[in-house]
Amino acid sequence: MNKNHILYILFILLFTASCSNTKFLPDGELLYTGAKVKMESSGTLKKEHKALKPQLEQLIRPKPNSKMLGLRPKLYLYNLAGTPKKEKGLRHWLKFKVGEPPVLYSQADLEYSKSVLQNFTENNGYFNTQTSAVSTINKKRAKAVYTVKPAKQYIIRNVIFPDDSSNVVKAVYAAKPESLLKNNQGYSLNTIKEERIRIDTRLKENGFFYFKPDYLKVQVDSTVADHQVDLIVKVKKETPELAKIPFKINKIIVYPNYSIGSDSIKSTLDATEKYNDFTIIDAEKLFKPQIFDRTLYFKKGDFYNRTNHNLSLNRLVNLGTFKFVKNQFKVSDTTGNYLDAYYYLTALPKKSIRIEVLAKTNSANYTGTELNVNWSNRNTFRGAELLTVTAFGGLEVQVSGLNDGFNVYRIGSEANLVWPRFISPFHHQSSGGFVPKTKATVGYEYQNRIKLYSLQTFKASFGYLWRENERKEHQLSVTEITYASPQNVTNLYQEQMTANPSLGKVIEKQLIFGPSYFYTYTNTMEKRKMNTFYYKGSVSLSGTITGAIAGANSENPVKIFGVPFSQFIKAESDFRHYLKLGDDSQLASRIIVGAGFAYGNSEELPFMKQFFIGGTNSLRAFRARSIGPGSYDGSANSSSFLADQSGDLKLELNTEYRAKIYGLVKGALFIDAGNIWLMNDNPEKHGAQFSKKFLNEIAVGAGVGLRFDFSFLILRTDLAFPIRKPYLPDGQRWVLDQINFGNSSWRKDNLIFNLAIGYPF
């Protein structure tokens, strides 16, 4: 069979599929194939009206069945499925999930659509537009044709704001410089509506609590010139007197223990406490009044302001202490134009306990479980402080590999105390809608690697967290202390250290102290945007001041309590981009760049601060910490039970196409690339040092995955394989020609299965 025969058969099949869509229509019905807008313009108006046509076409309803290559495959599948006998199964899924019911001509209301087009053109200044609608029928198909003949658009000549001595008119006139209505701009009813809302928002910022956009009108005078209008902004005569008055704040009354559904106000009126401008009604004295002085923006005598209104509510919610937050403004019974502000707050339970049992696996062939017990106190010192104490324990078992029995046991505890304010010798007033926080952390972990070693880690930190807005977040640790101490190092591990000296770095005593700073920006919460971004940057310092004072150097390191302290600077950037391709698909990409530099008291970065690559959230085609540094092949000298390759520099790139398959199941295709390198040459690791040939040492992997979105968690499975191995000889690193899914030996050596919770990025 030659190519022409194949094309002929394909054409016949496509033609048959197209024709079969109409034979399933109910008697007397026609398939609606869409609408066309025909613009009738002449001369200079033809170019002016060109941009109007696509806007009009978007307004017409209904939309016809979707097409692909001139055909309607979804409609064809709907018809092909017939009438399913059950509300489940393949036929039901094919018909109602994949397929699309026919759009009938009887559903198209031509007169209604014609009026929609007429209104749209006139609302945009094309007065005296003429519209008409006809339909054309071809066999069992029908389409609509709308003819639109707009006149010349009316242009704004002048925008006139009211000007008299009343308070409300003065406020409206003061809003004129930022007006959305501009001279020589086309008339638009939507812009007029937006202008009324803008003026109302401006008035709300200046005390006009009871004002509404409906109290404004914009008169249109079309008699001033040929195809020109004057717009006259006015305050309606019927505007209520309260709406014309700017109000100030009088009393500020807070009910911090308000109970919804009960008359808690009356029962607590005798438990009143005055603090600055606030009246606190709290019979049980649950909260210190200073909380509300820091949280609420209003002060007595301030003009009402919508921004302060919203910021106050946001900050109360962000305290994390109240389940419900409600407020109300009432006209005060005092002389003058005053409002009393009432805040009704329903507290969350003060103490709570949560128990979590987790199952987890990783790319190093360890599978295990972890138990977390979290106890919280949301109002520890009556200042909305959050105290969280966590105890945890876990077991990880090596279920495959050359050896077994190298299980890992972990136990530990951590305590966090968060104050809803900055604790600092310097006064700081936050102006955002998010409450700044001070956080202190103390933690301990004991990790026992059976047959190898055990490790104790102590940590403590003190710092600040604050947000500029919903996109930007800062975290500054003024000091962060980590002390790690090994114990019970076995003979087996010491033998491995002889063959691979770098394993000794894992069990060195380490003392790290210094500040760190993290900055995060994201707009990924804006779901309608086609392009969204996430960025997290961090800088960590250790031993900087102490090293400078002590004159530390690596040849004769200074010790604290018998342990040389680490001195380094480390920076890392994580940038992510999400491209929305459709309602259920996107392209997600990430690039990570990191660098660390040891100096003074240290020859190299401490092991726990070095960079690693590979694993479930990194290069998924390689086992965790198994790649690099550079072209060095760690598998030749490392033990079979541990892969811990580390470096001073890191470059990682990932891209992943994500799409919905069916229901809660989503699929992914991905490519990961990257590596780590050492800053300095290491004779024991040939090819590990960073050089200008670093791009030739990039590891690359690809794979497919499934994501099961249960809303409360996302279970992720990935199956990946390497396509470029940097540790192979130069010229042989691309291994695409070796891929053989049918070969069991190749699958065993190259296929990596990852099971994880959540997306990798």
> Which residue, 198, 223, 244, sits at the end of a domain?
244
Portion of the chain with pLDDT greater than 90, in percent: 62
Q: What are the tens digits of pLDDT across the range 565-603?
A: 999 999 999 999 999 998 889 999 999 999 999 999 998
User: Could you give the CA distance from residue 237 to residue 673 in angstroms, rounded to a whole number?
Assistant: 69
Check residue 17 and give its pLDDT: 52
Residue 90 lies in a domain: no
Q: Do residues 597 and 741 share a domain?
A: no
Q: Do residues 117 and 179 share a domain?
A: no
Domain of residue 196, CATH code: 3.10.20
pLDDT above 70 (res 31): yes
Check residue 9 and give its pLDDT: 47
Residue 522 lies in a domain: yes
> Which residue, 330, 347, 364, sits at the end of a domain?
347
Portion of the chain with pLDDT greater than 70, in percent: 92
Q: What are the tens digits of pLDDT across the range 142-163?
A: 999 999 999 899 999 999 999 8
Check residue 10 and give its pLDDT: 46
pLDDT above 60 (res 15): no
Check residue 133 and give its pLDDT: 96
Residue 682 lies in a domain: yes
DSSP 366-422: EEEEEEEEEEEETTTTSS--EEEEEEEEEEEEE-SSS-----EEEEEEEEEEEESS-
**Burial letters for 168-199: b for 16+ Cβ neighbours within 10 Å, e otherwise?**
bbebbeebeeeebbeeeeebbeebbeebbebb
Domain of residue 119, CATH code: 3.10.20.310
Q: Do residues 231 and 296 share a domain?
A: no
Check residue 511 and give its pLDDT: 94
Q: What is the CA radius of gyration of the chain?
A: 35
pLDDT above 60 (res 268): no
Q: Which pLDDT band holds residue 551 (cuts at 50, 70, 90)?
A: confident
Q: Do residues 124 and 18 share a domain?
A: yes
pLDDT above 60 (res 220): yes
User: Could you give the CA distance from residue 43 to residue 152 in angstroms, rounded to a whole number?
Assistant: 11
Domain of residue 755, CATH code: 2.40.160.50
Mean pLDDT over all residues of the chain? 89
Q: Do residues 568 and 663 share a domain?
A: no
Q: Do residues 631 and 754 share a domain?
A: yes
Q: What are the tens digits of pLDDT across the range 425-478?
A: 776 666 677 899 999 999 999 999 888 899 999 999 999 999 988 899 999 999
Q: What are the tens digits of pLDDT across the range 625-673?
A: 889 899 998 765 545 555 678 999 999 999 999 998 887 889 999 999 9
pLDDT above 80 (res 257): yes
Q: By C-alpha distance, which of 193, 191, 194, 212 is closest to 203?
A: 212
Residue 761 lies in a domain: yes
Angle at alpha carbon of residue 599, lines to 596 and 601, rounded to 5°: 125
DSSP 50-101: TTHHHHHHHH-SSPPPP-BTTB-HHHHHHHHT---SSSSSHHHHIIIII--P
User: Could you give the CA distance from residue 20 to residue 37 in angstroms, rounded to a whole number?
Assistant: 28
Q: Which pLDDT band holds residue 206 (cuts at 50, 70, 90)?
A: very high
Q: Do residues 622 and 718 share a domain?
A: yes
Q: What are the tens digits of pLDDT across the range 696-752?
A: 999 999 999 999 988 778 889 999 999 999 999 999 999 999 999 989 999 988 999
Residue 685 lies in a domain: yes
Q: Find the domain containing 296 and state its range.
A: 248-347
Check residue 721 and give its pLDDT: 96
Residue 386 lies in a domain: no
> Which residue, 608, 636, 652, sits at the end of a domain?
608
Burial, 276: exposed, middle or buried (Cβ in 10 Å; 0-12, 13-18, 19+)? exposed
Q: Do residues 482 and 511 share a domain?
A: yes
Measured CA to CA in angstroms, residue 365 lies from 41, 203, 642, 675, 710 at distances of 72, 64, 10, 21, 26
Q: Do residues 551 and 515 share a domain?
A: yes
Label the pairing between strands 665-677 and 699-709: antiparallel
Check residue 643 and give its pLDDT: 61
Does the model's pTM come out above 0.85? no
User: Could you give the CA distance from residue 612 to residue 34 in angstroms, rounded to a whole number?
Assistant: 57
pLDDT above 60 (res 62): yes
Q: What are the tens digits of pLDDT across the range 361-405?
A: 554 445 678 899 999 999 999 999 999 999 999 887 755 444 456
Q: Do residues 496 and 572 share a domain?
A: yes
Domains contained in the chain, number: 5
Q: Do residues 159 and 144 share a domain?
A: no
Check residue 635 and give its pLDDT: 65
pLDDT above 90 (res 21): no
Check residue 636 and give its pLDDT: 57
Check residue 676 and give its pLDDT: 96
Residue 388 lies in a domain: no
Residue 287 lies in a domain: yes
3-state secondary structure 522-553: ECCCCCCCCEEEEEEEEEEEECHHHHHHHCCC
Q: What is the mean pLDDT of residues 2-10?
A: 48
Check residue 113 and give its pLDDT: 96
Q: Do residues 159 and 240 share a domain?
A: yes
